[in-house]
Amino acid sequence: MNGLKNQVSALLTLIAVSLYAWGGLIAWREASVMMGAALLGGYAGARVARKVPVVWLRRGIAATGLTMSVLFFLR
């Protein structure tokens, strides 16, 4: 089921990006930098996550989510 979920997510992302590109709403230079960083972060993050103890990983994820929520709320 996880593979199917990933395929559906990829398809929805492809549709969204296509619509934005067709509408001329993408700043391609900035988007390509973000794409490269996301790919690098995804691969590097997966390797790091395998080596970090599960407790630390969960706490880091929770702290990141909490920090982002507070920052967005304050904005």
Q: Please state the pTM of the whole predicted model.
A: 0.54
pLDDT at 25: 93
Residue 9 in this model has a pLDDT that exceeds 90: yes
CB atoms within 10 A of CB 26: 13
Instruction: Break the chain into its structural domains and give their ranges.
Output: 2-74
- What does the H/E/C string look like for 43-57? HHHHHHHHHCCHHHH
pLDDT digits (tens, 9 = 90+) for 17-74: 999 999 999 999 999 999 999 999 988 988 888 898 999 989 999 999 999 999 999 9
